[in-house]
């Protein structure tokens, strides 16, 4: 039995204004996140991961981007109908976001502690100043900042990159949000610090039961951390399934390409099984039909891929893919692997 849905996104479409008119960065995407789970979102740069989450948070750049359609619900309540006040009441308290670059959230001219205290004070009105300070120091300690009492009075530039990331996490979790959206939270950090930050997030979730949306291009991290995964490509969801199913039996040619670019444990060399030719589309010149069709090895000249947008449909229990020929993916992978073995002989 799956837990209740906490966040539901339906047919969400986001457009950017460009000199050529409005262009879709996110095109009719739908997914659900359940209470307590880790929902991984993967896909090449430019696939619409961040824009989707900014839309969910009500943080799209004003005047540049707009939600052109769809629905976002938090525990059944529509977020898109909320005014600025209503959104502010939810943001930080129920949903909060951790960015790749901590300086997106931290103000360089305000002491770290004051910024965390402000986040606490925004949603916990009854607390005294000293109670807020104690709570902020406790939060800094809980995310692994040493000497939190002294660090409270320092500015962001006095923190290292890893410590700044922790301070931002402290701010994001200040009000025990029910969903944490972590957008490439460790991409800018070295491997050791990366592991420490992931541990901090895991311990926060263990304590608060928060669900997490983890956006990353690190498939290893997804394999270790996520319960379910959405693979995004060209502003759409290409595939959506449990993490084990995605890795064991991908049902979309794009997912196959992403996975094949991982170093294989069972391979004698670091050679890739398969690599995706070409580049992902930008906002302009998105292909018609299936957005992935110009790069797809399974297309095999079929016209339908160029004319008809494939719906995200269930291709196995709790496993959805947006490919007209998803049923052929397994055989295709085996063929490619066999041809590769033959070529190596």
Using CB under 6 A as the criterion, which residues of the chain lie in contact with ligand ADP when the complex forms? 16, 25, 43, 45-51, 61, 64, 282-283
What minimum distance in Å lies between the beta carbon of 145 and ligand ADP?
Answer: 28
Give the nearest residue (CB) to Mg ion.
50
CA distance 107 to 129: 20
Measured from the CB atom, is 8 or 50 closer to ligand ADP?
Answer: 50
The one of Mg ion, ligand ADP, none whose footprint includes residue 319, by CB under 5 to 8 A per kind, is none
Find residue 29's DSSP bridge partners. Answer: 12
Measured from the CB atom, is 45 or 275 closer to ligand ADP?
Answer: 45
The one of ligand ADP, Mg ion, none whose footprint includes residue 16, by CB under 5 to 8 A per kind, is ligand ADP
The one of ligand ADP, Mg ion, none whose footprint includes residue 51, by CB under 5 to 8 A per kind, is ligand ADP
Measured from the CB atom, is 136 or 237 closer to Mg ion?
Answer: 237
Measured in whole angstroms, the distance separating CA 34 from the mean position of its chain's CA atoms is: 15
Find residue 181's DSSP bridge partners. Answer: 97, 213
The one of Mg ion, ligand ADP, none whose footprint includes residue 336, by CB under 5 to 8 A per kind, is none
* Three-class DSSP category at 11: strand
CA distance 63 to 58: 13
Element (H, E) at 39: strand 38-42
What minimum distance in Å lies between the beta carbon of 89 and ligand ADP?
Answer: 26
CA distance 232 to 257: 13
Q: Which of 115, 219, 125 is nearest to 170 (CA)?
A: 115
The one of ligand ADP, Mg ion, none whose footprint includes residue 107, by CB under 5 to 8 A per kind, is none
The one of ligand ADP, Mg ion, none whose footprint includes residue 181, by CB under 5 to 8 A per kind, is none
CA distance 95 to 178: 6
Measured from the CB atom, is 32 or 101 closer to Mg ion?
Answer: 101
Q: Which of 6, 24, 3, 1 is nearest to 14 (CA)?
A: 24
Phi, psi (rounded to 5 degrees) for 215: -95, 125
Measured from the CB atom, is 25 or 323 closer to ligand ADP?
Answer: 25
Q: Are strands 179-183 and 95-98 parallel, antiparallel or unpaired?
A: parallel
CA distance 71 to 29: 10
What minimum distance in Å lies between the beta carbon of 37 and ligand ADP?
Answer: 21
What minimum distance in Å lies between the beta carbon of 251 and Mg ion?
Answer: 24
What minimum distance in Å lies between the beta carbon of 207 and ligand ADP?
Answer: 28
Among the residue ranges 49-57, 60-68, 194-202, 231-239, the one whose residues contact Mg ion (CB under 5 A) = 49-57
What minimum distance in Å lies between the beta carbon of 77 and ligand ADP?
Answer: 25
What minimum distance in Å lies between the beta carbon of 214 and Mg ion?
Answer: 12
Residues 33 and 213: beta-carbon distance below 8 Å: yes
Measured from the CB atom, is 13 or 175 closer to Mg ion?
Answer: 13
Phi, psi (rounded to 5 degrees) for 136: -65, -40
Measured from the CB atom, is 292 or 325 closer to ligand ADP?
Answer: 292
What minimum distance in Å lies between the beta carbon of 211 and ligand ADP?
Answer: 20
Element (H, E) at 342: helix 329-344
Q: Which of 78, 69, 51, 52 is nearest to 11 (CA)?
A: 69
Measured from the CB atom, is 115 or 216 closer to ligand ADP?
Answer: 216
The one of Mg ion, ligand ADP, none whose footprint includes residue 149, by CB under 5 to 8 A per kind, is none
50 contacts Mg ion (rule: CB under 5 A): yes
Q: What is the CA angle 144-147-149, rounded to 5?
A: 110
List of residues contacting Mg ion (CB under 5 A): 50
């Amino acid at each position: 039995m799956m837990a209740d849905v906490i966040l539901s996104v339906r047919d969400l479409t986001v457009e950017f204004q460009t000199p050529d008119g409005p262009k879709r960065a996110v095109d009719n995407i739908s997914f659900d996140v359940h209470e307590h789970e880790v929902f991984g979102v993967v896909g090449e740069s430019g696939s619409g991961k961040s824009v989707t989450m900014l839309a969910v948070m009500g943080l799209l750049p004003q005047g540049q981007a707009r939600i052109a359609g769809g629905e976002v619900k938090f525990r059944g309540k529509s977020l898109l109908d909320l005014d600025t006040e209503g959104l502010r009441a939810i943001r930080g308290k129920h949903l909060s976001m951790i960015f790749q670059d901590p300086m997106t959230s931290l103000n360089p001219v305000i002491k770290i502690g004051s910024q965390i205290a402000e986040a606490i004070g925004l949603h916990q009105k009854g607390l005294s100043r000293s109670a807020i300070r104690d709570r902020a120091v406790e939060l800094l300690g809980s995310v692994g900042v040493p000497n939190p009492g002294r660090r409270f009075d320092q500015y962001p530039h006095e923190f290292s990159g890893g410590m700044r990331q922790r301070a931002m996490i402290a701010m994001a979790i200040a009000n025990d949000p029910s969903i944490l959206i972590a957008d490439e939270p460790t991409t800018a950090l070295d491997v050791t610090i990366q592991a420490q930050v992931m541990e901090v997030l895991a311990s926060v979730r263990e304590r608060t039961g928060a669900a997490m949306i983890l956006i990353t291009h690190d498939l290893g991290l997804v394999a270790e951390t996520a319960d379910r995964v959405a693979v995004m490509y060209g502003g759409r969801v290409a595939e959506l399934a449990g993490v084990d199913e995605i890795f064991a039996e991908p049902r979309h040619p794009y997912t196959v390409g992403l996975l094949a670019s991982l170093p294989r444990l069972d391979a004698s060399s670091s050679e890739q099984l398969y690599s995706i030719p070409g580049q992902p589309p930008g906002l302009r010149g998105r292909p018609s039909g299936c957005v992935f069709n110009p790069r797809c090895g399974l297309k095999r000249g079929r016209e339908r891929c160029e004319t008809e947008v494939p719906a995200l449909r269930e291709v196995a229990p709790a496993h959805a893919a947006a490919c007209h020929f998803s049923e052929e993916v397994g055989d295709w992978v085996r063929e490619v692997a066999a041809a590769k073995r033959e070529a190596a002989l």
